[in-house]
Structure 1
Amino acid sequence: MMLPEHELPRPDDDDPPPLPPDKPLPAECCESGCPICVYDLYAEALEEYRHALAEWKRRHPDAGPPSL
């Protein structure tokens, strides 16, 4: 039995675009000079996201910007 077209898996379902990290809220930083601040962790996660997004765009050159 064949599935209706709207139920068929799409090729992009197995390779969705990466999601950006959540930006820390101002209250999440205690401003006490921690060696590893939530903003440092966010900056690292944002760099990883940008790298993953660039790789994803290489695999999907016809795709528009990922929708959030």
Structure 2
Amino acid sequence: MNDRPVHDDPAPLPPEPPQEGECCEDGCGEACVWAHYNEARAEYARTLAEWQARHVREPAG
């Protein structure tokens, strides 16, 4: 478990979606920028839930 002070534990940032024109629209499968983005979103959701759990235990103020 990480015992860093709250000020050293910033909330994770969501991944940026692919930019206009990054997707080839060719059904490339696993190498698709949208597949990578969806994986990053899942990782973000996991790390955000962990971060929120750590901060629920912190006293307010």
TM norm structure 2: 0.76
Q: How many residues end up aligned between the 2 structures?
A: 53
Task: State whether structure 2 residue 22 is matched by structure 1 residue 28.
Answer: yes
Runs of 4+ with >2 A deviation: none
> Which residue number in structure 2 is paired with residue 4 of structure 1?
none
CA shift, 1:33, in A, is 1.8
> Which residue number in structure 2 is paired with residue 5 of structure 1?
none
Matches within 5 A, 1:1-68: 11-35=5-29, 36-61=31-56
Percent sequence identity over aligned pairs: 53
RMSD after superposition: 1.7
Which structure 2 segments of 5+ residues have no match?
none
TM norm structure 1: 0.69
